[in-house]
Chain A
Amino acid sequence: MAAMSPSERRLQKELMSLMREPPPGVHVDGDQAGQNLTQWIIHMEGAKGTLYEGERFQLQFKFSSKYPFDSPEVTFIGGNIPVHPHVYSNGHICLSILTDDWSPALSVQSVCLSIVSMLSSCKEKKRPPDNSFYVKTCNKNPKKTKWWYHDDSV
C-alpha cells in the first residue's frame, strides 16, 4: 500500500473517529467516504426541540489535497435543504469557519457541530434575503462566495 499523505492520514483518522463516536444526530456514510477519502456524505438530523426536529439533511464535504490547511467545501445536498437564514436554496452555507475563520485545528466533527448549532439556534425558518439573486449568480463552489459578493458590490 502506498504511503498516505499527511492529509489522507488525517482524513482517515477523522473518518474513524466520526464513525466510532459520531456527535448526536450526525452520521457519516463510512463506505462511501472509505472509497473516496476526498468526498464524504454526512447525514444530519434536526435536533430535538428545534425548528428542524424530525427533518433529515445531507451534507457534502469535499477536501482538497491541502486539507486541513485549506478548508473543506461544505454544502447541503439532496432533496431537503434546510430553510435557514444562512443556508441558500442551492445548499450553500454562510458560515465563517468554512471560509475566513477556518483553522486547521478545526475538523469535520467541529464543522458538523457548528452546523447543528447554527440550525438549532434558528428562530424563524426563512431563506437568506438575497437568496434568489445569490443562487442565480454564485459560483458552484461556495468557497468563492465572498469573492463574488465583493466583486459584485464594487
Chain B
Amino acid sequence: MDPHECSEIISRHPELILVSNNPVTWEGMLSVTVNAAEKSKVRIKLTLPNFPALNGATLSFGKNPEILCHRDFSRKSRILIESAVTVTSFLKQLQILIGEALHSHLPCLTSINNHSIISELEAMTHSPCDLRLSTSHGLNLIELVSKNIRVRLQRDAKCSDTWKIVSSDLAQLQGCELVVGATMSLHDAGNKLDKQVESLENVWEHLKDIDRNCWVIDPLIPMPHHIYRRIKINSSLSILININPLQPTSLPAIKILGSDSEVAKYREIVSGNFELWDPSNSLSENLRILLNLEEFPQATLTKDEKQCDSGLFNDEECCICFSLELNDNELPEKVCNNNTCRKQFHTACLLQVHGMATSNTWQSSGIQSTAWRLPTLRAKHIVSCRIGHHTNCQ
C-alpha cells in the first residue's frame, strides 16, 4: 500500500472510499464536468489487485446512464486502464472521458434556432388555416396535413428559415408549387397547402360523385392529386375526363378511348349532346346525358374477386404483358378493333410489337379522341392455328 498515492486520491476525490485492502478497492462517487453549466457525479467501483500498479484493474459503474454501458465507452475506458501510469492520472482521464460521453448524449437542448421555429409553428396553429401539424424529435421534420393531404418538410441544415419539401401528396398535380425539392418558409408552405386544398375541395366533391356512380378504371386508387378519371363504358370503350380545377362543373376535357367503331359511334353521340351540358347538374348526370346512357355500367368484379381469377389474364389486363399496370401506373388504353377480339393493350407494349403504331388525333370542340388501328396483330388466332409445312409457305 502506497500511502502517498492513497492520500493523493483521497484529496482529489473526497467521495471515493477505500472499501477494501485486499484487493485494493475504491468505491464511491466520481465527480465529472459535463459542460460549462453542468456537473455530475458517477458511481464507480475500481478494483486494483496490483495496487499501485494498474494491471488487472477492473472498473464498474453503479446505476448510471446507459451511455456508460455502451461498447464504445467500455473500449475507451479499457484503453485508459492499459495506458495510464498512476491511479490518479487514470482517474483524471476517466473524469474527462465520462464528461465527454455524457455531454455528447445530452438531450438536444432548445437552441435559439429552435425557438424561432417554435414561434413560427405557434403562429401557424393560431392562423385560421385548417392545418394539422406534427413534428419529429428535434424539429427537423415537419408534417403539414390539411384534409388528409400531407406535405412533409425538412429543415435546411444551413438556414433555419427555409424548409425543403421531402414528400407531398400534391406533387404530381399540375401547377402546384408544393413539389418535392422546393424550398420555402413554413409559413408559406402552410398557406400554399391551405389555398391548394381550398381550390381542390370543390373538385374532389365532383370526383367523388364520379367514383360513386361510374366504373372508374383509372386511377386504380384515386389520390388527391388525381383530377382525372377514366370511366369504362363497355368492353371496348372508355372515357377519360380531365376536370378543370377552376370550373369543375363545366364541360371537362374528354378523351374517348377504345376500338375505332365504338369511338366513332360515341364521338357522334357526344357531339350531338354538347348543348345538353348543364353546369347545375352533377358531373355524373351530365356525363350520362352526354353519352346517352340509361345508366353507367358498374364494375363486374371487385378487386378481391379479380385476384381469385385464375385465368391467364383477365379482361382489363394487357394481352401482351399479361399485367394491368406497366411502368408508372400505365394502364391498358388500346382496344383491338376486331369486335370478336376486343383485347386490351398498353400503348407501350404495342409500340414494342410494331415499332410504331399509327395514330392520329382527332380534335374538335373540346373533345379529343384517338383514332387508332390495331395493326396486323393476330390476337384472334389465340387458339386457331395455321399449320403450314415450311416447304409450302413461301
Contacts and interface: CB of A to CB of B under 8 A. Distances in A.
A103 B323 CA distance: 17
Interface string B358-394: 0000000000000000000111011101111111011
A112 to B, nearest CB: 11
Contacts of B386: 96-97, 101
Nearest to B341: A105
Nearest to A114: B385
A48 interface: no
A106 B322 contact: no
B307 to A, nearest CB: 13
B319 interface: yes
A140 interface: no
Interface string B296-321: 00000000000000111100000111
A29 interface: no
Contacts of A82: none
Interface in A103-130: 103-107, 109-110, 113-114, 117-118, 121, 128-130
A17 B326 contact: no
Interface of A: 6, 9-10, 13-14, 17, 20-21, 68-69, 85-86, 94-97, 100-101, 103-107, 109-110, 113-114, 117-118, 121, 128-130, 145-146, 149-150, 153
Contact of A100 (B320, B322, B323, B393): B393
Given A9-B323, A100-B393, A20 B310 contact: yes
B389 A128 contact: yes
A94 B389 contact: yes
Contacts of A86: 387, 389
Contacts of A114: 383, 385, 387
Contacts of B352: 69
B318 to A, nearest CB: 9
A14 B322 CA distance: 9
Interface in B315-340: 319-323, 326
B312 A105 contact: no
Contacts of B84: none
B391 A10 contact: no
A22 B323 CA distance: 20
A13 B313 contact: yes
Nearest to B393: A96
A95 B387 contact: yes
B390 A149 contact: yes
B341 to A, nearest CB: 9
A14 B312 contact: yes
Pairs of residues from A and B, 9 with the lowest C-beta to C-beta distance, nearest first? A114-B385, A105-B379, A104-B320, A103-B378, A94-B390, A105-B319, A96-B388, A96-B386, A17-B312
Interface residues of B, number: 29
A105 B310 contact: no
Contact of A118 (B311, B319, B385): B385
Contact of A13 (B322, B326, B382, B390): B322
B164 interface: no
Given A103-B379, A105-B320, A6 B326 contact: yes
B375 to A, nearest CB: 11
Nearest to A11: B322
Given A94-B389, A101-B378, A105-B382, A17 B310 contact: yes
Contacts of A96: 385-388, 393
A105 B390 contact: no
B353 interface: yes
Contacts of A21: 310
A32 to B, nearest CB: 20
B349 interface: yes
Contacts of B385: 95-97, 113-114, 117-118
B379 A10 contact: no
A137 to B, nearest CB: 13
B323 A10 contact: yes
B343 interface: yes
B381 A101 contact: yes
B390 A110 contact: no
A113 B282 CA distance: 51
Contact of A103 (B311, B377, B393, B394): B377
